Amino acid sequence: MYAYNSNYYFEGALHQLRPKKTAIHTYILTDGTIVAMFQGSRGAHPDLDFVIKLLRVGKDERPETPPHLYWITDLIIKSQKYPNEIREIVEYYISFYDRCVPFDSVEDRKNYKPQTVDVILSKYGHVKVDKTLPIDYNALIIELFCYCEKRNEGAFMFKELLNKLKAFIDGDIDYMHLLSGFK
């Protein structure tokens, strides 16, 4: 059993204190990290927007909004040991991005169940590097960012990051070009 900061995680859900909110969805990953979806307020469809927060295991930890650098850096590190697997995962999510349909209603979002996490865990659960995030973190975060960006017509930054990560893994660009969007 994992120990969490009880100010933020209780009754099976992650909570935000200011403003006071309860997560729409709360997921506990294989290493105990909690990833949660909260109501957002941006874009052309603010009622369907969402914000991701994570809470690490530990009684003193606080929720944080994970930057793109977390999953990108994590996959860069893993690609050094598992280049073929990480390439396949990134290609899988580029394809997923192209075919996923964003939430059409608050009810759709409420009924959401992750589609890719079990697929990734079953095929790539062995992809582990000490002191990195679990592969189900990458799977869930990337899936959620796909849905979030697809709901905002004309947005393309996340898809571009996936393509740049693939180019890095393929040796077409260096890590500085990959991370150049994070100035």
- At 67-119, the pLDDT tens digits run 888 999 999 999 999 999 999 999 999 999 999 998 999 999 999 999 999 99
Q: Decide if 4 is inside a domain.
A: no
Report how far residue 77's alpha carbon sits from residue 74's, in angstroms, rounded to the nearest whole number.
Answer: 5
The pLDDT mean for the chain works out to 93
CA-based nearest residue to 49, from 144, 140, 148? 148
Which residue, chain included where needed, has tokens 């469809």?
45
Q: Decide if 158 is inside a domain.
A: yes
DSSP string, 77-146: HHHHH-HHHHHHHHHHHHHHHHH-----SHHHHHT---SSHHHHHHHHTT---TTS--HHHHHHHHHHHH
Report how far residue 125's alpha carbon sits from residue 170's, in angstroms, rounded to the nearest whole number.
Answer: 22
Global pTM exceeds 0.75: yes
Q: Decide if 160 is inside a domain.
A: yes
Segment 155-175 mean pLDDT: 91
Query: What are φ and ψ of residue 39, in 5° steps?
Result: -60, 130
CA-based nearest residue to 14, from 30, 39, 38? 38
Q: Decide if 85 is inside a domain.
A: yes
Containing structural domain, residue 42? 9-179
For residue 144, name the pLDDT band (cuts at 50, 70, 90): very high
Q: Decide if 14 is inside a domain.
A: yes
Q: How many distinct structural domains can be found in the chain?
A: 1
**Over 60: is that where the pLDDT of 44 sits?**
yes
Report how far residue 101's alpha carbon sits from residue 143's, in angstroms, rounded to the nearest whole number.
Answer: 11
Segment 10-36 mean pLDDT: 96
Q: Decide if 3 is inside a domain.
A: no
**Per-residue pLDDT, 32:** 97
